[in-house]
Structure 1
Amino acid sequence: MRLHRLALKDFRGIREREIEFADSGITVVEGANEAGKSSMIEALDLLLRTQASSRSAAVKAVQPAGRDVGSEVRAEISCGPWRFEYFKRFNSRPETTLTILEPRREQLTGREAHERVQQILDQSLDNALYLALRLLQSQAPDLDRLADSSALARALDRVAAPAETDTGDGDADATALIEAAAAEYRRYYTPAAGRPAKELAEAISAAKAARAVVDERTALLRSAEQAAAELPAVETEYAETVRAEAHAVEEAADLARRAAEAETVDATVRQARAEAEQRALAVQIAERAGAERAQTHDRLADLDRRVEADGTAVRELREAAEAADTSARELEEALARSRSELGRVRSELAASTAAEKARADRARIAWIDAAVSEAAALTDARTEAVAAIAANPVTDREVAAAATLDREIAAAQARVDAGAAAVEVTRLGDGAVTIDGAEIDDSESFAAVGETVVQSSGVRVVVRGAADTVALADRLSDLQAQASALLARCETDHLGGVAGRAAARAAAERALQAADAARQRALAGATVEELQTERAALVAGLPAASDDPAPRPVAELRPREAELTDLITRAERKATQQRTVATTQRARAEAQAEAAERARATAKAERAALLEQRAQLSDERLAADLTAARDAHDRTRAVLAEREAAAAKADSAGLRAACAEAEQKLERVRHRLTGLRDQRTQLRTLLEQCRTENRLDDLADAQTTAAVTEAEHARVAERAAGARLLYETLVRKRTESRSRYVAPFTRRLEELAAPVFGETVRFEVDDDFAIARRTLDGVTVDVEALSGGAREQLGLIARLACAMIVDENDGVPVILDDALGYSDPDRLASMAQVLGSAADDAQIIVLTCSPDRYAAVPDATVVAV
């Protein structure tokens, strides 16, 4: 399958777009996020698999938001021998058109067009391969679903067994045989779980149902026989249970009567107990009234004592406050004298400090003047050194170059002299003799290098040196030219003088460094301008001359200032403490006086209330009421004890328990009687049915039916077992044959992966073409343990390997949607090489929002959207 062209209109956020894809090689479709790149894949899937009239959620989702328009998809596709143009409009005004261009032109519309495309795809498209060779954003990078790819199986079969002559039809026959066996298997078993399917399940169910009828009728016949044997014993037990019920009813009635009599005795006990509780409550009330009267007496005495104590405390607190005030005044007077003394000392200390600062400033001014003067002298020396350096550009590099040239020129001259012939020309007559146009006076000697012309009247001699000396001469000439250039740059006449010039420059540089270091030391890291600014500020701050006597030294005044400051601080703290004590004592005295007044008022009110209570009920009357209440309580307690003894003798609790047990016994007897009555009825009914129905004939008919259904089940089960055996055998053989496919697939995979992971990379591939483990530099790890980037790269390489192995007629596009997002720059460059190597054997479509990621892919067709 090849995708030649894809056009979309009003599809999600795409207004209109048409893209042509290269038939082979790489087409890179680049665009920003939400530009609709992934929507193109979705559109192609809808076009190939979904009818235009569909109202599914997937179709409704592609309609542009807020616009009532149809979503159109058009594609030109090659698939097997067919090449066709296919168009669908979804949602609004659905439409389907198909134009087959090759091998024979056809035009279809509507459902016929859809079914015709489905027929073409079923015949020519390996759907498992088509889905597996995608690498989309929403799926894991691992390669799967290839076990059912017949195209890959055929290709690997050709690679694994090239000597076999059957390369296509045999595989098709094998596939057809497996499919036929699978169809027969699915006739009897479900595909997923292998449970019995309709025909086998119905046979099993019919056999089980017939056997259940036989068992049911056999059980009915046996139950009738058992009922006849059980009925006499049930009749006897039923009569005995009737008599036991009558006896239990009589016993329960007698116990109920006796329990009622005991309950009457218990009622008199409860009445006596209630009266005793009332008398006990009266005693408690009388005791509480007497206690409250005694507590009132105690509170009055306590309040009188508190009033007297508060008066004494108020006097003591006020005396303490007066003493604290006196101490605070004395401290404040001494504090004033100390503050006056501290002010005088601080004035003298300020004058002394100013005098010392003036002396230090004058010393600093003198130092600055000396430093500026020294820096000026060093600046002149620095200027001279800078000028010497600027006038001499020769460095150690030129010295090294001069030494090298000197050695090479001497060596080249020696080689020329050794290889060239020596020629001597002597003038004998009066005629002019020239060498290369230059006239000689007497004689001239030269080495025969290159071509030299010696000419005299009537004679012209050309002297040519040997071929190897020409190259030596050229080398010597080149070295001499380099030496001339170096001497001109260094401003000297011979190569030996270059070292002297470099030494002079080095001396000037050392002088410059020494001047800079001395200047920095003289200025102590500052600049002349900063020092001059500082000097002006110091001069401006000097005090005017005065005739006042010199103050005492600062070292003598500082201890006195500290002593006075500490004395004042301690005096202030103590005075504050005394004032605080005075304030606190006065506040406490006032609070104590208020408390005494409140206690006096409370005592007055308590005493008035006590007098009023005594007027209503005297203390003697309270004592008499308490005695009377206690006597009445003792009498009621004696009556209660007498009645409790009578209740214990009656044992009402025991009678109630016996009565409840008798009722339970009666209930059990009645329940047993009901069960026996029902059992007797059932047995009689069962025996009656056996007399009226022909149970033996029904059992014989059921046994005949069961034999027929079980025989049918055996035949169906035998056919099902044969179908299962054939299908499982064929599948096992196909799996065994596929194991030999793994080797060529693994080789191609390792060839493609070598530029990315290294030449030592090896893979272990399962029979279903799933990559299980990777070995690199002798280290083997599971693929699941690799990083996300490595797994993504491996998934892409595996898809390319499949695309390169599959025959061109069976191939499908490799679609990569924003892949390699986790790859580093080095891996991206390697993956570009891998994509380029696979481009000749497959159609590769890349959708990306990062164009730089695939910039290194060679010969790619780039389409911007």
Structure 2
Amino acid sequence: MSLVIRQIAIDGFRKFRTPFLIENLSGGLNIVIEPNETGKSTLLEALRAAFFVRHNTRNQLAQSFAPYGEAVGPEIKVSFDVDGSPWSLTKRFLRSPSLEISGPLGRAQGDDAEARLNTLFGSVRDTSRGGDVSTYGALGLLWVAQTEALAVAGPGQIVRDTIASTLEAEVGSIMGGDAYRRVRQRIDAQYELYWSPTGQRRGRQNDARERADAAIAAAREASERRAALERSFSDLDAARGRLKIIQREIADETDGQTRKELVDSREIARAAAQILSTRKAEQEAAVAKLKGLEDLKSRHAAATISRDSATTAVETARVKRAELREALANGKTKVATARENLEAARGERHDTRAALAAGEQAIRLSRRQMAIAAARRRHDELLKLEHLHGETKARAATAIPAKAIEALEANDRAVNQAQAVVEAGATRLTLSGAIQGVTIDGEPMPVGERTISRPASIKIGGTLLIVSPPAAAASAEETLAAAILKRKSALDELHVADLATARSRNEAARDAAAELRTLAARVEAATPADDTLQIAAGADALKLFVAELKPEEPEADAALPDMSALTAAVEAADTKLARAEGTQDSAIAALRRAEEADAPLALAEAGAVSDLANAAALLKEIEARPEWATLDVDLERARETAAQAAVRLVEAERNASAHDVGAINRKIEVIDARVRVAADTRTRLETEIARLEGTIESEGGLGLADRAAAAQEEVEAANSALQRVTEEADTLKLLRDTLESARNETAAKFVGPVAKRAKRYISQLLPDCDLTFAEDLSLASVSRTGVDESCSNLSRGTQEQLAVLTRIAFADLLLEQGKPVSLILDDPLVYSDDGRLDTMIEILTEAATRMQIILLTCRDRAFRHVPGNRIVLRAAA
């Protein structure tokens, strides 16, 4: 049974914010080649949503269908054929959700339509939040989204069951037969009372557990309330005891006396701290004054040293620069002389090169005049050859086609044959002797033989003789006349007198054609390329050049210059210039060396002069200050003052440390906090005592002990029921698992037929390759040259190719059972090399003869040559 999707209409689904329509899908290979972000993957998601996602769900997957930032109801319409019968569905999500399906069985809506879709495509209801493709049945395996085919995976349970039922007769298994199904249905019916399809507890187990949990919670609550009442009595006694202790602490006056003493000590400590601040300021002022005087003295000493060093450096630099002055003067003189010599050499070289250029120009002019004369001669020869070529071409054009010659020869043969026939059937008369008075048809009859082809009257004297030739002679003569007329007409059309003339004209034309080739060679030889005149080869170039020439001027008779002498003069001037440049470079280098030796000395002298001036100015400034005259006495007095201030500071610090204001404040704060906490505690305890007294009064008469006992009995009964239900559930699960295990053992028998069908595809891609399938029908490994390779260790490209091929094999198996099958591949074969890509395309093209295949790809270069129905994604009009 084939599934053919014919038309898809989408509105308000993810990126398709406006209505979008795809139609004219064929039942074979359909190819959609569009760039990224065009909506190819969204198209596949829309198809999955239309066929398999419940219309009234609001799970995470359905919420993602709405375009970002828009509150609309995504709508999908699909027209498709199942086994040749037309179907259509319209599904809307989120806002006013709805589903309507129509087909051979009529129309259905809502949940009935969902059930009909599940029955048609072998799918089950999907209860997951993000969409579970394993619940989609065969199409969940065959509609492959991006990257889903990058790893080889087995089909879901629904597909495995379908394939198993297809192959049961082939493998000879009874598992899955009527007896098995009846037993399995009974067990599944009981199993569903205790377990969900995914193995989670539900139904009776959940009811028993909820009863046990409720009983435990009630018992716990009763026990907690009884324990709380008992704790209330003990808490009340404890609170009353703590209240008595707090009241005694509040009545104690020790903390008040201690706080008063601490306040007195804090005042003394504040006075000591003020004295310490004063001593620190005095000490800092004395130290600052001492540092200032010491700095002044050290600056004066440093300036004196700098002045002496700068004086020595200036004298040294000036002595060394005096030694270099003569070398600098000589270097400058040599550079000036070398510059003059270089300028003279350059002028001489310029003159010699100008003379050489003039000589070369004269020679080029002479060569050009000679080349022009030769070109004119070749042009005259060319004109003669072209005239001769025209005449010869006209003669060659008179050639008669071979078919015409053959026709002339056939006409000649026809005339000769007709003549022979006429002569063979005619009557021959021979006249000799006296011929006077002998006439034939009223005319004198000559001597000799005469052929008569028609009746003739011969009169001899008074006798009349009528000669009648055979009747066939007349038709032969007519045939001869027609042949002669046809020959004459053909000769007149060709303007020749006879066949010999035609042959002679053909021979002349053939000779002319041969002569044409000779003339063409002579023209080519007469029109070579000329580099001197820049003329290309060929008659047209030569004609164009001669046509553009001015009237010929008489050649100058002046003798050509001696190029050897001019070249020698240029070489001598170049040598002289090179020597002058070398001499100048040498002089400049010598001057540069002298300047390089003088430059650091000049810098050193300038720096030393600057340092000397700065040191002198600094000394002058320091010695001009008023404290300079008594600096030594003031410095000694400042040292004594600083020492006395340090002693007074140490004494003040010792007094301040004995009375720490911060420590005293902290002790006072501790006493105040203790008093506040005691008061707050007394208030809290009085509140707690009142609350406990109220609780005991309200809870004491409720019979909490009896309630706790009854709740415990309910717990025991609920636990007993839970244990019984759990044992029943575990027994059913064990029985079901045992049946499933036996069924899986039988399912292993299906691996062989599946491998056989898949190998005919995979052998095209991987020749001499054996396949190994797991019990869940997933491709486990491949064997090449005796080496087994796990599919997970193969390259990404090979895994993707094998995943596509095994899906085609499963599709063939499902087609055998009559299941609706189509194959959709989103961006397939992204890791395939060129060779394997061509092989995969051949396999897909062949598979498209049995089922509908839709390729969604962005790789135009890889798929543009593939024959198939091309689909373009465009918004609906």
**TM class by shorter-chain length?**
0.5 to 0.7
Number of residues of Structure 1 aligned to a counterpart in Structure 2: 633
Match of 1:86 among 85, 88, 105: 88
Three-state SS of the structure 2 residue aligned to 1:185 is coil
Match of 1:152 among 143, 159, 163: 163
Amino acid corresponding to residue 744 of structure 1 in structure 2: F
Three-state SS of the structure 1 residue aligned to 2:192 is helix
- Give 2:224's aligned residue: 216
Q: CA separation in 2, counterparts of 1:628 and 1:228? A: 80
User: C-alpha displacement at 1:779, in angstroms?
Assistant: 1.5
Cα contact 1:31–1:848 (8 A) shared by 2? yes
Three-state SS of the structure 1 residue aligned to 2:703 is helix
Three-state SS of the structure 1 residue aligned to 2:3 is strand
User: C-alpha displacement at 1:737, in angstroms?
Assistant: 0.8
Cα contact 2:821–2:851 (8 A) shared by 1? yes
Aligned pairs for 1:33-44 (under 5 A) are: 33=34
- Give 1:699's aligned residue: 705
Q: CA separation in 1, counterparts of 2:265 and 2:74? A: 97
- Give 1:185's aligned residue: 194
**Greater shift in the superposed pair: 70-79 or 266-275:** 70-79
- Give 2:211's aligned residue: 203
Q: CA separation in 2, counterparts of 1:161 and 1:745? A: 13
Amino acid corresponding to residue 210 of structure 1 in structure 2: A
Three-state SS of the structure 2 residue aligned to 1:845 is strand
- Give 2:275's aligned residue: 268
Query: Cα deviations across residues 582-636 of structure 1 (Å, max 9, x unaligned)?
Result: 65688789878877987897799678867865xx6772x5556556656655665
Q: CA separation in 1, counterparts of 2:43 and 2:694? A: 81
- Give 2:724's aligned residue: 718
- Alignment pair present for 1:74 and 2:89: no
Query: Cα deviations across residues 641-690 of structure 1 (Å, max 9, x unaligned)?
Result: 66666x28x8224x965774586477568757865875686467536743
- Alignment pair present for 1:652 and 2:659: yes
User: C-alpha displacement at 1:700, in angstroms?
Assistant: 1.2
Q: CA separation in 2, counterparts of 1:337 and 1:836? A: 90
Cα contact 2:32–2:856 (8 A) shared by 1? yes
Three-state SS of the structure 2 residue aligned to 1:703 is helix
Q: CA separation in 2, counterparts of 1:644 and 1:835? A: 99
- Give 2:853's aligned residue: 845
Aligned pairs for 1:121-200 (under 5 A) are: 121-127=117-123, 128-137=137-146, 139-140=148-149, 142-149=152-159, 150-162=161-173, 164=174, 169-170=178-179, 172-173=181-182, 176-177=185-186, 179-186=188-195, 199-200=207-208
Three-state SS of the structure 1 residue aligned to 2:158 is coil
- Give 1:750's aligned residue: 756
- Alignment pair present for 1:247 and 2:254: yes
Cα contact 1:52–1:96 (8 A) shared by 2? yes
Cα contact 1:324–1:581 (8 A) shared by 2? no
- Give 2:24's aligned residue: 18
Aligned pairs for 1:230-245 (under 5 A) are: 230=238, 234=242, 237-238=245-246, 241-242=249-250, 245=252
Match of 1:320 among 291, 316, 324: 324
Match of 2:803 among 769, 774, 795: 795
Aligned pairs for 1:424-573 (under 5 A) are: none
TM-score (norm 1): 0.56
Q: CA separation in 2, counterparts of 1:665 and 1:221? A: 38
Three-state SS of the structure 2 residue aligned to 1:6 is strand
Cα distance change on mapping 1:746 and 1:800 into 2, 3 Å: farther
Cα contact 2:76–2:92 (8 A) shared by 1? yes
Amino acid corresponding to residue 180 of structure 1 in structure 2: A
Match of 2:588 among 576, 583, 603: 576
Three-state SS of the structure 1 residue aligned to 2:80 is strand
Sequence identity (%): 17
Match of 2:285 among 278, 282, 293: 278
Match of 2:114 among 105, 118, 124: 118
- Alignment pair present for 1:28 and 2:38: no
- Give 1:729's aligned residue: 735
Three-state SS of the structure 1 residue aligned to 2:104 is strand
Q: CA separation in 2, counterparts of 1:186 and 1:746? A: 34
Q: CA separation in 2, counterparts of 1:774 and 1:70? A: 44
Three-state SS of the structure 2 residue aligned to 1:708 is helix
Q: CA separation in 1, counterparts of 2:623 and 2:204? A: 108
User: C-alpha displacement at 1:210, in angstroms?
Assistant: 0.9
Cα contact 2:90–2:99 (8 A) shared by 1? yes
User: C-alpha displacement at 1:781, in angstroms?
Assistant: 1.8
User: C-alpha displacement at 1:17, in angstroms?
Assistant: 2.8
User: C-alpha displacement at 1:170, in angstroms?
Assistant: 4.2
Cα contact 2:146–2:828 (8 A) shared by 1? yes
Unaligned runs of 5+ in 2: 124-136, 349-529, 531-558, 872-877
User: C-alpha displacement at 1:277, in angstroms?
Assistant: 3.5
Query: Cα deviations across residues 324-358 of structure 1 (Å, max 9, x unaligned)?
Result: 424775899899999999x99xxxxxxxxxxxxxx
Query: Cα deviations across residues 174-202 of structure 1 (Å, max 9, x unaligned)?
Result: 56445534532347x98569899863553
Q: CA separation in 1, counterparts of 2:265 and 2:7? A: 105
TM-score (norm 2): 0.55
- Give 1:398's aligned residue: none
Q: CA separation in 2, counterparts of 1:690 and 1:93? A: 59
- Give 2:439's aligned residue: none
- Alignment pair present for 1:774 and 2:785: no
Query: Cα deviations across residues 818-854 of structure 1 (Å, max 9, x unaligned)?
Result: 75666668767876897799899x6453547799999
Cα contact 2:204–2:725 (8 A) shared by 1? no
Three-state SS of the structure 2 residue aligned to 1:772 is strand
Query: Cα deviations across residues 418-447 of structure 1 (Å, max 9, x unaligned)?
Result: xxxxxxxxxxxxxxxxxxxxxxxxxxxxxx
Cα distance change on mapping 1:208 and 1:275 into 2, 3 Å: same
Q: CA separation in 1, counterparts of 2:64 and 2:243? A: 76
- Alignment pair present for 1:101 and 2:104: yes
Q: CA separation in 2, counterparts of 1:761 and 1:864? A: 34
Match of 2:792 among 784, 794, 819: 784
Unaligned runs of 5+ in 1: 22-26, 63-67, 345-528, 530-539
Q: CA separation in 2, counterparts of 1:100 and 1:577? A: 105
Q: CA separation in 1, counterparts of 2:63 and 2:243? A: 74
User: C-alpha displacement at 1:213, in angstroms?
Assistant: 1.5
Cα distance change on mapping 1:698 and 1:47 into 2, 3 Å: closer
Q: CA separation in 2, counterparts of 1:157 and 1:43? A: 35
Cα distance change on mapping 1:176 and 1:118 into 2, 3 Å: farther
Query: Cα deviations across residues 129-148 of structure 1 (Å, max 9, x unaligned)?
Result: 23223345552263444223
Q: CA separation in 2, counterparts of 1:707 and 1:75? A: 64
User: C-alpha displacement at 1:749, in angstroms?
Assistant: 1.7
- Give 1:492's aligned residue: none
Cα distance change on mapping 1:734 and 1:237 into 2, 3 Å: same
Cα contact 2:255–2:671 (8 A) shared by 1? yes
User: C-alpha displacement at 1:310, in angstroms?
Assistant: 4.3
Three-state SS of the structure 1 residue aligned to 2:274 is helix
RMSD of aligned residue pairs (Cα, Å): 6.3
- Give 2:383's aligned residue: none
User: C-alpha displacement at 1:253, in angstroms?
Assistant: 3.0
Cα distance change on mapping 1:204 and 1:767 into 2, 3 Å: farther
Cα distance change on mapping 1:693 and 1:143 into 2, 3 Å: closer
Aligned pairs for 1:337-376 (under 5 A) are: none
Aligned pairs for 1:393-432 (under 5 A) are: none
- Give 1:258's aligned residue: 265
